Chain A
Amino acid sequence: MKADSLQQPADVYSQSKSAICPEDSHLTLCPDCDLVIREVVDSDPARKLIICCPRCNRNLREYHPEGLIKSLSWVITGLLLFLPANIFPVLVMEILDHQEASTIWDGVMALYREGLQGVALLVFVLAILVPGMRLLILLFVMGAIFQEQRFQKWAKRFARHLFRRYVQLGEWGMVEIYLLGILVAVIKLADMAMVQPGAGLLCFAGLMAAELGISICMDEQEVWEHLEESRQLEESRQLEESRQLEESRQLEESHENVSC
Chain B
Amino acid sequence: MKTYPADAQHWINGSDAGLKLCLDCHKVCAEQTERCPRCGARVHQRRQNSIARSWALTLTAALLYIPANLLPMMTVSKFEEGQPQTIFSGVIELVNHGMVPIALLVFTASVVVPLLKLLGMVWLLICVRFPGAAMHRQQTLYRVIVWIGRWSMLDIFIISLLVGLVQFGQLGTVTAGIGAYAFASVVVTTMLAAMQFDPRLLWDAAEVKKL
Q: Are A164 and B40 in contact (CB under 8 A)?
A: yes
Q: Name the contact of A12 in the complex, choosing from B5, B18, B149, B202 (C-beta under 8 A).
A: B5
- Indicate whether B95 reaches chain A with its CB closer than 8 angstroms: no
Q: Does A168 contact B (CB under 8 A)?
A: yes
Query: CB-nearest residue of chain B relative to A14?
Result: B10
Contact check, A177 vs B5: say whether CB atoms are below 8 A apart: no
For the complex, is A111 an interface residue (Cβ under 8 Å from B)?
yes
Contacts A123-B157, A224-B38 known; A171 to B150 CB distance under 8 Å? yes
Tell me, rounded to whole Å, the shortest Cβ–Cβ distance linking B86 to chain A: 16
Given known pairs A123-B157, A177-B157, the reply for A110 and B24 (CB within 8 Å) is no
Distance between Cα atoms of A122 and B183 in the complex (Å)? 12
Cα distance A20–B28 when bound, in Å? 12
Q: Annotate B1-34 by CB proximity to A: 1 below 8 A, 0 otherwise.
A: 1101100101111111111110111111110000
Max count, chain A CB within 10 A of own CB: residue among B20, B180, B204 = B180
- Distance of A163 Cα from B24 Cα, bound (Å): 9
Q: Is the CB of B161 within 8 A of A29?
A: no
Which one, B39, B188, B199, B203, contacts A164 given CB within 8 A?
B39
Structural contact, A93 and B17, CB atoms closer than 8 A:
no
Q: A107 at interface (Cβ–Cβ under 8 A)?
A: yes
B122 CB to nearest chain A CB (Å): 20
Indicate whether A248 reaches chain B with its CB closer than 8 angstroms.
Answer: no
A108 touches B160 (CB 8 A): yes
B:122-164 near A, CB below 8 Å: 135-136, 139, 146, 149-151, 153-154, 156-164
Is the CB–CB distance between A56 and B181 below 8 Å? no
Q: Given B39, B78, B169, B172, which contacts A160 in the complex, CB threshold below 8 Å?
A: B39
Given known pairs A17-B16, A106-B164, the reply for A95 and B176 (CB within 8 Å) is: no
B162 touches A185 (CB 8 A): yes
- Most A CB contacts (10 A, CB to CB) among B41, B97, B99, B200 go to B200
The yes or no answer to A54 lying at the interface (CB within 8 A) is yes
> Which positions 180-211 of chain B face chain A at CB distance < 8 Å?
180-181, 184, 188, 191, 195, 199-200, 202-204
Q: Is B94 an interface residue (CB 8 A)?
A: yes
Q: Verify A34–B13 contact, CB threshold 8 A.
A: yes
On chain A, the residues within 8 Å of B153 by CB distance are: 126, 174, 177
Interface presence of B83 (CB below 8 A): no
Whether the Cβ atoms of A36 and B13 lie closer than 8 Å is yes
Q: Which residues of A contact B19 (CB under 8 A)?
A: 20, 22, 27, 29, 36
Residue in A31, A90, A231 whose CB lies within 8 Å of B26: A31
Q: Which residues of B contact A243 (CB under 8 A)?
A: none
Please give me the residue from chain A that is nearest to B8 by CB atom. A55
Compute how far the CA of A28 lies from the CA of B30 in the bound complex, rounded to whole angstroms.
Answer: 12
Q: Does B165 contact A (CB under 8 A)?
A: yes
Q: Is B115 an interface residue (CB 8 A)?
A: no
20 pairs from A and B in contact (CB 8 Å cutoff): A31-B200, A33-B135, A33-B139, A33-B199, A34-B15, A91-B161, A119-B176, A119-B180, A119-B184, A123-B157, A123-B160, A161-B40, A164-B40, A167-B24, A171-B146, A180-B154, A181-B158, A185-B161, A224-B27, A224-B38
Binding site for A on B (CB under 8 A): 1-2, 4-5, 8, 10-21, 23-30, 38-41, 78, 94, 97, 99, 102, 105-106, 135-136, 139, 146, 149-151, 153-154, 156-167, 169-172, 175-176, 178, 180-181, 184, 188, 191, 195, 199-200, 202-204
Q: Which A residues contact B (CB, under 8 angstroms)?
A: 8-9, 11-14, 17, 20, 22, 27-29, 31-36, 54-58, 90-91, 93, 95-96, 98, 100, 102-103, 106-111, 114, 116, 118-120, 122-123, 126-127, 160-161, 163-164, 167-168, 171, 174, 177-178, 180-182, 184-185, 187-189, 191-193, 220-221, 224, 227-228, 231
